[in-house]
Structure 1
Amino acid sequence: MLLGMLLWWSVKENSVHLVPMDANQHIAYISDIGAHQLQPLFIAMGTTTVVSFTTVFATERWLRHRGTIARNTSWFQKLLSTLAIVFALIGMIGLIILTCKNNIHYSTTHDACLVVFIAGYIISAIFVCWEYQRLGIHYRQHRILRISFWIKLAFIFIELGLAIAFGILSHQKRYNPAAVCEWVISFIYTFYVWSYAIDFIPAVRTQHYASKETEIDMAEGMEAESRMRGYPGGVPQEQATYSSTSVTRGQESRNF
């Protein structure tokens, strides 16, 4: 979507000066382009992107609950995951309203929603990083968690730095570098969305969505049940007992 809008403005429209661009502004904001003929596309694609991304958050939470990917090991990790989803929803709402309220007729609302969108997803990413850091302590063998953690941490610092730069440049009315910052923020956000594909690699590799953690949990559960039934040695002792009992009964029936 972003690339299409940029190409439409720079190639098809030959970088035309759009309302509400400043007189000295030569690089259009995304919102400047999205406020005109492309607003329906801006709304549709923006909504599709954030709704899909928020669905990814919910799916990730569900897969962790099932054990398809590394399970949360504490209620605190689940809380972090929930907060990440909540702030992603806030960011999603911000972007949807932002695309509907163009910066020509609703500039104040548009700018406020831009702040909500950026802040929502940065805060969401902070909670995701925090959760992954805690998961990494318990699942040191899962290299994917470390990779995903560092990607998301880099996103936080880069996006936060660019957002601050964007705010300062806009306040100073240096609209061209501010517009560059906005485009870079948006493209990095796109890569951030795609970074979640890494988190689902274990689920794709696992047959019938049964992860190693799930199998271990099942084995531990069977061991515990065997001990509760009076077999201190667990499943092997119970199986051996049943096997010897079956052999004894077979011999008795033949002798009879």
Structure 2
Amino acid sequence: MTGYQNPVYLSDIGATNLQPLFISCAGFQAIFFVGTLLMGMYLRKVSKIQPYISHHQPRLAIASIICSIIGQLGILFVSIFNTKNYHHVHMAMVGIFIAFIFLACCCDFGITYIFGTRPFDLDPVHRSTVFGKAKRANLYYVSFFAKIIWICAAICFAAAFGHYMKVGRDSKSAVFEWLILFWYGLLLVLWSMDMIPSAVRKYRSKHPEIYQTNQLDYEKQYGSKWEDFSQAQYVSDGADQNTFVHSPVLQNQQQLAQGQIQVNSPVPYEDNNYNHMISSETNYRQPLEPVARY
């Protein structure tokens, strides 16, 4: 940086006595970024969250992890080779970071796209988390659409950053650099959207008294895909197992076996026994329409 500039480049701040802090922050965010992708793949493989439904998805996950590792090494070297003493190396590492993080995001967004365009292959709770009646009105497709908006805006910000730097308008270029930094943080929010259906299912399993009948009838109709992916057995110690282990389906089956839920036919109108009517009303077949909506 030469002369007056407002705001200053983050790289110029990192070239001061704050460089150790710059390196440590770059390293920590690299660990969290790569770790998020690794944990996402692991949790889907062990069916803790919605498993993969296409053989392309694990390949995209591996590709995104490899690209993210290369990209995050790039930003780590950006912090190590400061712009004051190693300007050309610094800028080359910035280019590597941008290119490979872009590829990592594209691969990861492809996984969400497959989930969003094939809702009938998803677990019933994931399929039922919808914003409308259209096939692609599920949460995964909405998440994919939001990610596309995010990446298009990021490309525009990066292009403006490079353009203003090239023409020597450093203050304008620095504005877009800081904008990219905060925009980059929104990616974690978009990733968290994919966890909402799993959170819904977990909440239902923790509150069987609320979703006792609805969840039982719904999953009896459609089946739960996750049971096909794991041979986990029901446990009664309250430990945190796969989300389908403590699902309302199994809890209701246990209660049925113990005679706690009486499945009776609807009472005729001439039956004047009020208690009988109350107990029978809860056993009417639930509607086909999904229960959870946003």
Q: TM-score, normalised by structure 1?
A: 0.70
Aligned match of 2:177: 182
1:56 aligns with 2:68: no
Structure 2 counterpart of 1:163, from 158, 183, 189:
158
Structure 1 counterpart of 2:227, from 215, 218, 222:
215
Match of 1:68, as an amino acid?
K
Aligned match of 2:51: 71
Corresponding residue SS for 2:35: helix
Q: 8 Å contact 2:23–2:76 — kept in the other structure? A: yes
1:133 aligns with 2:84: no
Computed over aligned residues only, the root mean square deviation of the Cα atoms, in angstroms, reads: 2.3
Give the Å deviation of 1:73. Answer: 1.9
Aligned match of 2:212: none
* Structure 2 residue runs without a partner (length 5+): 121-126, 130-137, 206-223, 232-294
Give the Å deviation of 1:41. Answer: 1.1
Structure of greater Rg: 1
2-structure distance, mates of 1:149, 1:125: 11
1-structure distance, mates of 2:74, 2:229: 41
Q: 8 Å contact 2:12–2:83 — kept in the other structure? A: yes
Q: 8 Å contact 2:71–2:98 — kept in the other structure? A: yes
Aligned residues: 198
Structure 1 counterpart of 2:25, from 45, 49, 58:
45
Structure 2 counterpart of 1:99, from 79, 99, 111:
79
1-structure distance, mates of 2:152, 2:43: 28
Aligned match of 1:191: 186
Give the Å deviation of 1:124. Answer: 1.2
Aligned match of 1:86: 66
1-structure distance, mates of 2:87, 2:142: 39
Give the Å deviation of 1:202. Answer: 3.8
Give the Å deviation of 1:205. Answer: 4.6
Q: TM-score, normalised by structure 2?
A: 0.62
Decide which structure has greater helix share: 1
Q: Deviations over 1:138-164 (max 9, x none)?
A: 226253312321232122101111111
Q: 8 Å contact 1:122–1:159 — kept in the other structure? A: no
User: Identity rate of aligned residues, in percent?
Assistant: 27
Corresponding residue SS for 1:70: coil
